[in-house]
Structure 1
Amino acid sequence: MYSRIAFNNVKKSFKDYTIYFLTLTFAVCIFYSFNSIDSQSVMADMNSGQTEYVKIMAQLISYISIGVSVILGGLIIYATKFLISKRKKEFGVYMILGMGKRKMSRILLFETLYIGIISLAAGLLLGMLFAQVLSIFTAKLFAVQMTQYSFSISISAILKTILYFGLIYLLVMIFNVIIVSKYKLIDLLHGDRKNEKINIKNPYIALFILIAALTILGYAYYLVNLAGLNFDDSRFKLSIALGIVGTAFFFYGIASVTFSALRKNKNLYLNGLNVFSVKQISSKFNTNFISMTIICLMLFVTIGTLSTGLGVKNASESSLKNQTPFDASVHVFDKNNGSKISVLDALGQLNYNVDDNADYVVLRQYKHNMSSRDVLGKYALSSEQKEMLNFKVFDTTDMIKISEYNKLRKLKGESSIDLKDNEILVCSNYEPLKGLLESFIKNENSLQIDNKEFKIKDKKIETGAILTSPSSDTMFTLVVPDDLVNGIDKYDEVLNLNFIGDNKENAKKELTAIFNNFKFNENEYKNLNFSLYGGTREMAYDDSRGLSAIILFVAVYMGIVFLLSSAAVLALQQLSQCNDSIGRYRSLRKIGATKSMINKSIFKQVAVFFILPLALSIVHSYVGITVVNKYLMVLGSSNKIQPILMTALMMLIVYGGYLYATYVAYKNIVGNEYR
């Protein structure tokens, strides 16, 4: 009997459950699709390196899903509380008819079970479809040509989703029993008559708090710009704390200040139902400023993670072509004597024949005792540049022989450079140093090395890569006449090669296998006195795309969850407060307010509560993204507008969709009262 009552209640109140049901369905969909990433059909077309990155990504998402399930659990409990509060009168009637609290709890238990099963089933079906889209997206990220597409279903992801959401629903059922057990009959019967007390704060105190909030936030922005992303820096930690306090103060003071300002503008304040709308908004802010603070910070995390994730992908891929001029680059590290062993000798010991398989150039790098920091120091104006020059690499200056550099250019298919005995070239493809080096080149015509003046040839920076790598390989390197480095021991040696001949594909696979064994299975070479590292062009692309894919997937996963949670909490909060204000809307109708006037007032209220936390989160995000972009420069320059536009589109679809759905639901609840 109770199961039938519960089923009829769910069926009858489906409109009230719409936002709740859709939120649960989307949550299950996102949870399943991201946790099924390592079971996608694209895995069959990936090479071993790409597969390793996908496995790392899947493991990381699995760990993050624990936190995600906690967030979604809190969201579901919050939503359930709203649904119960909306039905207080219904439960009061049950109690008048003699139904005990235990039996009411049983009805709620069945209702939660039905909604859970329906949303779980719908979410899994939707998730299976979305997982196929993710599979195609993953293939695009890794530039994999899918030879044979097949619809894939992850049994492990289904079981994990059922387990996590089953535990959440179990907690919700326990929560429902506790809530119902605390209800009193008088509260249930008169729950809809309890209007929230409108308590307008002293406007001068509110204005002081608002000014304090803006001051605190401004100082927090200043500190985070100074500290950057140095999590150990006390200024960074203080900026986070001040940002949270400033946000809370902002929402605490903004309503009363705005209310007081609007009251002074009689034409605006007394127009239509503005008196009612302003008082409604202000009264809600009195008790909701903490939740508004949390929602604002969640939206900040959403915008930041989505923009940063997309920005990392664009930045890392933008410089790949320049960073991979050769088919492969090989380094060797002598375990006993640093870099004394030759790369060619090391490959010979591994029975890899370079001469028959490739055109190659051996490039040696030397460290001169001249400090690069002293050379560039006066052109470092920003704190980031000054901090960068403190790196140990700037204690000395890297140098390359012009003869070997010209061989390198020939291997690239470029013409050689004629360098006189008193000339040098400046090389750098490290984006964060770009501005500093441009100032150096503009203001300096020559450089003194070993008491001899050397002219900077052509007054420009050579930005071409000197080896194949997934990231920038040259910070500040000088190409010098050969005799300038005579007597200096090499500190590094790299073999750059382009495969040739009919056997070049097999040669590439053989070298790739050697790299992977040193990387993932070094025990196979434990008897050797050296380690080999480097990679082919394909491996560099896989490394770059693998890292950016991990960051992007985690950012999108967390961003969507936070966005979904923020929008759902706002929606449910507004609908819950709508039920508490039904009596006020009845009064409006009695004094002659039209339906369109009331709907306009409802839209204003809903829009303010959705737009205000979003607006402040956008300001927070602008500051945060500016700081993060300084670090993304290490990966390469990229179009910063595209990630922002894509994030804005996602926000518009999800957040705007919830705003509209909340307005429609709010309007329907009020409309049902005077229909």
Structure 2
Amino acid sequence: MNKLGLYLRLATRNLFKNRQYYGPFFLTAAGCAAMCYIMRFLGYNDLVSTMRGSAYVQLMLGLGSFIMVFLVVWIMSYANGFVIRRRTKELALYGILGMEKRNVGAVLGLETLFLYLAGTALGVFGGALLSKLVLLLLLRLVRFEVTMGFSFSTAGAAETFAAFALLFLFLYLRNLRVVRKTSPIELLHTGSMGEREPKSRILLALFGLLTLAGGYAISFFTTNFLFVILLFFAAVALVIVGTHCLFGAGSVVVLKALRKNKALYYRPRNFTAISGLIYRMNQNARGLANICILATTVLVSVATTVCLYAGTGETIEKMYPNDLTLSVNFSDDGLTQENADAWEAPIRQAAADHGVTDGEMESFYLFAFGAQAAAGNVYTPALSAESQTADTPNLLFMTADDYSRLTGQTVTLAEGEILARGLYDSTDSLTIGDTTYHVVGEAEEFPAVNGGYSPCTVCIVVPGTNTLVNLREMLVQDSEYAPTVRRYLNLNTDKLDAAAIDECANALEAAANPAPSPDWLTSRSYVYSREGMRAELYNMNGSFVFLGIFLAIMFTMATVLIIYYKQLSEGYEDRDRFVILQQVGMSADEVRSTIRVQVLMVFFLPLVMAAVHLAAAFPILMRMVSAFGVTNTRLFLLCCLITLAGFALCYVAVYAMTSRKYYSIVKR
């Protein structure tokens, strides 16, 4: 009992005495526990699981929980590693005074237990207080009805306590391994071991430049939508490797080059700053590279998700310009006006039952495929999805009968004659594959369709459905990639509100899918509702921005922790050195100036490099958000600039707070 009492007194005293180390560790543990509880609270919340579009929200919560596991383990392992390194002399002293390693392990175990219980309890309590606010934020983002009330997730709290019990057990075993494998004399002298001057690894620095250039090149030159996401992760890997190489080997090469400049180097402030950075750059480089990568992750995740959410309204108007659009595939031998009228008759009757007139509806055949354009209006069909890029135009074909009915113009075309709009050249011919058509006039822009093709690149009016069938047969002969001719029906009315539009959409879909289905219909009829897709997109993009904010908080937490511990480490390492510098003749003002230069060089370089990474990633990020329907480059640029400015302010604030600790340590 006396031994246990001694262990308890030692553990509590150690935690209090080392509060400048354990304080941030404790707060970080509480913050991570709060985030874990909130994620599990949302996962178990009935309102989240039953809302419209809950699949998107659940997917984002699942992805966030998966990422959170790695982040929490990494953050806590980093903090624990720093604390145990700073306590090496203290642990060595216990051994020299006669405590066995098992006794030291018992004290460490009690310290770990206290931190686990207090940190996790505070985290769950804080998470419970914030959970309703976070839920309201999520519901607001997905535009779901907000309900009042408070609830506590017992299962979420239990899972958080269990997960952090495993985490702290893992950290304790790591600390125990350090104590058991190192002798007290080695522990005592660990902090006194000098750092050798790192060699100039020019080849590694060049490798870093090449990998960074490779990542940037992928961003600038990747145009195929199908490869954008896949190559984005390859670019991320290259940039991470390049960043570590440049901060490590590249910084040493640059600093040694500065040292060779006699006029620059042999000044008191530059001499101490440059020489100090050279000797400690191996340790600095790792932390600085991590800060840079974390900062870049925050900038990218927030800028892209906020842009997606801010551009949702514009995306809806572009992708879903009609209140309702119905579409169905017709067989090649079923492309007749009689069949079209037979398919449309029950649809128009269902629409009339909801107060929609024929004048508020328009129908037409549309055939579309992508093709590469060349001089002379020669178009080569894209025979696979992989062969299409962002610059591949869509060729949209409509029959003369449908075009005449939609525009009110009387159009008569002979075989081989077409009307066209948006051609590559101004010549009066158009060649597709082996067939050449004579352009006899200019077509008007075709109506856009919901859930289908955006406003067309090239509009082509052909004599009749036979031409559409011939085009399809040409594509089938060359490749399995052959789209079908579709019948579209657009509905636009100002008589129905959102709820009535949903009811009308359900009625139209039932009318458009008779049982049994005629042979000339080769697919089910689908209805695209602008109001329905508005809810879907806000659910999806709201989930994205929620995940982006969540990840930004986690990465910012890690960045603040690294900066704080780095300032502490730098302060203790510099204190004795600056005392010596004052003893050999440097004034206090010169010492403070040297400190200021060194700290600014070290801690603002990651922010500058993160801004460069964001600028280099802008092209590929723009293509990624374009794939989700946001094509407003100025909006994305504005989101990037605002995110960068906001993060820079936070970064400066963290630097200002942590640098005070650094200066207080150095001045002792």
Flag whether TM exceeds 0.5 (same fold).
yes
Q: Give the structure 2 partner of residue 166 of structure 1.
A: 165
The alpha carbon displacement at 1:233 in A equals 11
12, 18, 21: which one pairs with 1:13? 18
How many Å apart are 1:342 and its aligned residue?
Answer: 6.8
Q: Is 2:618 the counterpart of 1:636? A: no
CA contact (8 A) 1:334 1:531 kept: no
Are the aligned partners of 2:60 and 2:543 in contact in 1 as well (CA < 8 Å)? yes
Structure 1 pair 346–407 and aligned structure 2 pair: CA distance change class (3 A):
closer
How far is the alpha carbon of 1:261 from its aligned partner?
4.0
The change in CA–CA distance for 1:143 and 1:581 in structure 2 (over 3 A counts) is: same
Q: Tell me by how many angstroms 1:492 deviates.
A: 1.0
Partners of 1:88 and 1:189 within 8 A in 2: yes
Partner residue, 2:398: 400
Give the 3 Å change call, closer, same or farther, for CA 232–535 of structure 1 in structure 2: closer
Structure 1 residues 152 and 444, CA gap change in structure 2 (3 angstroms): farther
| SS of match in other structure, 2:52 | helix
Aligned to 1:431: none
Aligned residue number for residue 613 of structure 1? 606
Give the structure 1 partner of residue 301 of structure 2: 305
CA contact (8 A) 1:41 1:150 kept: no
Report the more deviating stretch, 345-354 or 182-191.
345-354
Does the CA-based 8 Å contact 1:30-1:127 persist in structure 2? Answer: yes
SS at match of 1:330: strand
Partners of 1:424 and 1:49 in 2: CA distance:
44
| Residues 390 and 77 of structure 1, relative CA distance in 2, 3 Å threshold | closer
One-letter identity of the residue aligned with 2:54: T
Q: 2-side partners of 1:456 and 1:347: how far apart? A: 29
Q: Deviations over 1:514-554 (max 9, x none)?
A: 79999xxx9xx998786342332221112222332333333
Which AA in structure 1 matches 2:272?
F
Number of aligned residues = 625
- The residue correspondences of 1:27-66 to structure 2 (distance < 5 A) are 27-38=32-43, 43=48, 48-61=51-64, 65-66=65-66
Which letter does structure 1 place at the counterpart of 2:540? L
What SS class does the counterpart of residue 535 from structure 1 fall into?
strand
The correspondence for 1:466, drawn from 439, 444, 448, is 448
Structure 1 residues 271-420: aligned runs within 5 Å: 271-290=267-286, 292-332=288-328, 353-357=350-354, 358-359=356-357, 360-367=360-367, 373=371, 390=388, 397-400=395-398
Measured at CA, do residues 376 and 515 of structure 1 come closer, stay the same or move farther in structure 2, by a change above 3 Å? farther
SS in 1 for 2:450: coil
- CA drift at 1:53: 2.9
Using the alignment, how far apart are the partners of 1:506 and 1:240 within structure 2?
44
For 1:213 and 1:583, the matched residues in 2 are separated by 34
Whether 1:533 aligns to 2:526 is yes
- What SS does the corresponding residue of 1:354 show, helix, strand or coil? helix
Name the counterpart of 1:478: 459
In the alignment, the residues of structure 2 paired with residue 234 and residue 121 of structure 1 have an alpha-carbon distance, to the nearest angstrom, of 41
- What amino acid does structure 2 have at the position aligned with 1:176? N
Q: State the SS of the aligned residue for 2:246.
A: helix
Quote how far apart the aligned CAs of 1:486 are: 6.7
What's the counterpart of residue 490 of structure 2? 496
Counterpart of 2:117? Answer: 117
Q: 1:73 to 1:399 in 2, by over 3 A?
A: same
Query: Post-superposition shift, 1:644?
Result: 0.8
Matched AA of 2:195: E
Q: Which whole-Å CA distance do the structure 2 matches of 1:528 and 1:157 have between them?
A: 49
Structure 1 range deviating more: 332-341 or 210-219: 332-341
Correspondence 1:428-577 to 2 at 5 A = 440=423, 443-444=425-426, 448=430, 451-456=437-442, 462=445, 466-469=448-451, 473-476=454-457, 478=459, 480=461, 483-485=463-465, 488=468, 491-498=485-492, 507-511=500-504, 531-577=524-570
**Contact 1:377/1:389 (CA < 8 Å) preserved in 2?**
no
| Structure 2 residue aligned with 1:80 | 80
Is 1:4 aligned to 2:9, yes or no? yes
User: Deviation of residue 171 (structure 1)?
Assistant: 0.6
Report if the CA contact (8 A) 2:327-2:526 is conserved: yes
Flag the 1:644–1:232 CA change in 2: closer, same or farther, 3 A: closer
Alpha carbons of 1:220 and 1:166: their partners in 2 closer, same or farther (altered >3 Å)? Answer: same
CA distance in 1, matches of 2:393, 2:440: 20
Secondary structure of the 1:373 match is strand
Q: Which residue of 2 aligns with 1:214?
A: 209
CA pair 404-7 structure 1, distance change in 2 beyond 3 A:
farther
Alignment deviations for residues 228-283 of structure 1 (CA, whole Å, 9 cap, x no partner): 57559998787666545533432233333333344355565344443222222112
Q: Which position in structure 2 is the counterpart of 1:26?
A: 31
> Which one-letter code corresponds to 1:551 in the other structure?
F
| Mean Cα deviation higher: 611-620 or 106-115 | 611-620
Mark the CA change 1:595 to 1:113 in structure 2 (over 3 Å): closer, same or farther. Answer: farther
Q: Once the 2 structures are TM-superposed, how far is the Cα of residue 288 of structure 1 from its aligned partner?
A: 4.8
Quote the offset at 1:172 in angstroms. Answer: 0.8
**How far apart in 2 are the matches of 1:448 and 1:473?**
22
Is residue 85–residue 576 contact of structure 1 (8 Å, CA) maintained in 2?
no
Q: 1:161 to 1:579 in 2, by over 3 A?
A: same
Match of 1:143 in 2: 143
**Equivalent residue letter for 1:162:** F
In structure 1, the partner of 2:256 is 260
Q: Secondary structure at the match of 2:106?
A: helix
Matched-pair contact (CA < 8 Å) for 2:400–2:411:
no
- What's the CA shift string for 1:84-112, capped at 9, x where partnerless? 22223322332333222222222222222
* In 2, Cα distance between equivalents of 1:407 and 1:517: 26
Residue 223 of structure 1 and its aligned partner are, at CA, apart by: 4.4
- What is the deviation of 1:166? 2.3
1:623 aligns with 2:602: no
Give me the whole-angstrom Cα distance separating, in 2, the residues matched to 1:60 and 1:587.
52
Q: Give per-residue Cα distances to partners, 1:426-466, cap 9 Å, x unaligned.
A: 4xxxxxxxxxx6xx57x5275558743233358xxx4x862
* Whole-Å separation in 2 of the counterparts to 1:377 and 1:163: 67
* 1:576-601 superposed Cα distances (whole Å, 9 cap, x missing partner): 35444543244235446566654544
Contact 1:3 1:107 in 2 (8 A): yes
Distance 1:75 1:349, change over 3 A: same
Q: Sort the Cα spacing of 1:259 and 1:126 in 2 relative to 1 into closer, same or farther, 3 A.
A: same
Q: CA deviation at 1:176?
A: 1.6
Give 1:393 shift: 13
Moved more, 78-87 or 244-253: 244-253
Gaps of 5+ in 2: 470-483
Secondary structure, aligned partner of 1:112: helix
Q: Structure 1's 331 and 293: CA in aligned 2 closer, same or farther, altered over 3 A?
A: same
Q: Which amino acid aligns with 2:604?
A: I
Secondary structure of the 2:524 match is strand
Whole-angstrom CA distance in 2 between matches of 1:421 and 1:18? 83
Ranges in structure 1 where 5+ consecutive residues have no aligned partner:
409-415, 427-436
Of 80-89 and 14-23, deviating more is 14-23
Deviation at 1:498, TM superposition (A): 4.1
Going from structure 1 to structure 2, the CA distance change for 1:271 and 1:153 (only over 3 Å counts) comes to: farther
State the SS of the aligned residue for 1:319. helix
Query: How far did residue 362 of structure 1 move?
Result: 4.3
Q: 1:70 to 1:377 in 2, by over 3 A?
A: farther
SS at match of 1:193: coil
| 1:400-430 deviation line (CA, Å, top 9, x unaligned) | 357756877xxxxxxx67576588464xxxx
Amino acid at match of 1:80: N
CA offsets, 1:151-197, max 9 Å, x none? 44444433333232222111111112111222322234344433323
Decide whether the 8 Å contact of 2:376 with 2:429 is kept in 1: no
Quickly say closer, same or farther: Cα 1:554–1:403, change in 2 above 3 A: farther
**Quick check: 2:222–2:620 contact (8 Å CA) kept in 1?**
no
